Each structure stands twice: as C-alpha cells, then as structure tokens.
Structure 1
Amino acid sequence: MSGQLTAFVYGTLMDPRVFFRVVQGNSDPPEVIRNLYTFTPAILHGYCRHRVRTADYPGIIPEEGRSVRGIYVTGLTDANIDKLDSFEGDEYERRTVKVKLLEQVGDDDAEGESLVEGEEKTADTYVFIYPDQIERGEWDFEHFRRERLRYWAREEFSFDDAVDEAV
C-alpha cells in the first residue's frame, strides 16, 4: 500500500536503483512496488548542494539566492522514512521544506530550459549539519552516475561498503 508521506531527494537517491535499494532493499523491485511511488522533478530555493569532503554524496545547506534541483517523491510510508533516516545517518537533519514542482513546457532539451516552476509542495529533505565538511563546489549528479553509481547500485555491495569505498 502506498503511503502519504513525501520527500525531496537531491543526491544519490535521485537514481531509482539507489532509492529502491534504500526503501525496499532491492534496486530493481517488481513494477507493482515501483508504482507505489511517484517521482517528479522539483526545485528547492534557499539551499545549495555541495560535495561532502572525501565522499561520493552531497549535502545541502541553507544558502540565500541559491537553489537545488532534485526529485519530489510521493507514496512514502513511515517505514520508508525510517529507512531514509537510517541511510542519511547522523550527518543530516530531516527538515520539512517547500519545493516547487518542475513542469515541462515544449520540447525537452539537454539543459532543462523547458522546465518551469509549477505547484508548491511540502516535503521532507535531509540537510547536511556539518558545513565545515563540505567543499564549496556543486556536486555533479551526472559525474556520480558515470563514475560511482556502480558501487552504490550493485546488489552484493552494501551501503557501508560504498561509504568506505568513497572515503
């Protein structure tokens, strides 16, 4: 059964394989499980996504005038949120934020210029609480997908191993 909770994810969890490994324990669950969730591009204003020093994953911190693109996820249960809390660990604080859904207008292009802000939604997200451990550079999701995702999405590879490998 689908849950009523929502989240805004902006890092490794934007990849469905990582997301499903965390919340379902399987990077490729059956379609009936996948269909319990919806994934919509969204933007969070007033924050910036940075690389966490010596890690594959990012952290967001409040930063006026900046914004973070990510994914608004619906269908989460309390058990899913518990798993996300555990995955994010003590480096992050779960906070409720307001995001704007991104809607496609016209033809899609490589830069996402055809996306415009739409409806505002409330969601939980994870804010990095150790700003001295971040690098002042934007974390690159595409670089993560090309270079590091294989470590995070393999069924036989644990998240603890992925974190150890990243460090």
Structure 2
Amino acid sequence: MSMHVFTYGSLMFSPVWERVVRGSYEAEPAVLSGHVRHAILGETYPGMIASPGSEVAGMLYRGVSDADVAALDAFEGVEYRRVAVQVAAGGRPVEAQTYLYLMPDRLSADPWVPERFEMARFLGTYCVDKLGS
C-alpha cells in the first residue's frame, strides 16, 4: 500500500530524496498548518513540531511505496516519529505522512530557512554511503 509523504527539510531537495528512496514519485509544493519548523542546534536539517497558528511549506510526494517509506523511517531515525497529517496541495486537502521532531529542547529559536540549506555539508555528512548508489 502506498502513501503520500510531506517533507519539509532536507528531503524537499531531490539530491537528498533520490539518495534515500528507490522509486520515482510525483512531487508538488504543499503546506501543513498548525506546525512550525526550526533549525536544530549544530545541524543542517530542521525539526518540525506542532504550533497552532503556524504553517510549514514543503513538498508532497505522492504514492510512495511501503519499501521507500521504510527507507525514509530509517533515514529519519529515532529523533523523529512518522504521523498522519492533512496538508494543502494544489488548493485541496491531502492525507499524508510526515515526521515530527521528538527533541524540542534541541531546536533553535531561529526558523529553518530552505534557501540557506547547506546541501554539500548535509550530503557529505548524512548521505556519504549513498553517493555511489
């Protein structure tokens, strides 16, 4: 059974996404209400937590296979928990899965800004074993 996955950090970027999953998926911009995304202290990637009145822009991948969801779960690790959410994509509500950050004490007060994502640093740190695959 496939599912839609909402990403809001490093996985929004195809060079990261393509190193984690095997399949090819339709992707489109989406927004999740009631949540906020912050930088994680000392890291290049963000964490997202519930926050009424806030919203997070990200990317929705449609029809992600069970095998690739398992790969995403492994990639996100113990600092995140996958949960069901409803995002807005193309002006319509869509049921999706996303990853909430479980260590809010490690979040910076600063928002995480996608335009400042340090792609090369992230890939060199977290995707080294996937570069040749």
Scaled by the length of structure 1, what TM-score is found? 0.72
1:36-51 maps to which residues of 2 (within 5 A)? 37-51=25-39
Secondary structure, aligned partner of 2:73 = helix
Counterpart residue type for residue 116 of structure 2 = H
Aligned Cα root-mean-square deviation (Å): 1.8
Counterpart residue type for residue 120 of structure 2 = R
1:148-167 maps to which residues of 2 (within 5 A)? 148-153=118-123, 157=124, 159=126
1:126 and 2:76 matched = no
Residues 91 and 44 (structure 1), Cα distance of their counterparts in 2 relative to 1, 3 Å cut: same
Question: d(CA) in 1 for partners of 2:42 and 2:88?
Answer: 31
Percent identity of paired positions between Structure 1 and Structure 2: 35
Structure 2 partner of 1:8: 6
Contiguous gaps of at least 5 residues in structure 1: 25-32, 104-117, 163-167
1:1-167 maps to which residues of 2 (within 5 A)? 4-24=2-22, 34=24, 37-101=25-89, 103=90, 118-144=91-117, 148-153=118-123, 157=124, 159=126
Counterpart residue type for residue 94 of structure 1 = R
Question: d(CA) in 1 for partners of 2:48 and 2:38?
Answer: 6
Contact 2:48 2:99 in 1 (8 A): yes
Contact 2:44 2:121 in 1 (8 A): no
Question: d(CA) in 2 for partners of 1:79 and 1:57?
Answer: 23
* Greater RCO structure (CA 8 Å; 6+ sep): 2
Bigger fraction of residues in strand? 2
Scaled by the length of structure 2, what TM-score is found? 0.90
Counterpart residue type for residue 78 of structure 2 = D
Question: d(CA) in 1 for partners of 2:54 and 2:110?
Answer: 13
Contiguous gaps of at least 5 residues in structure 2: none
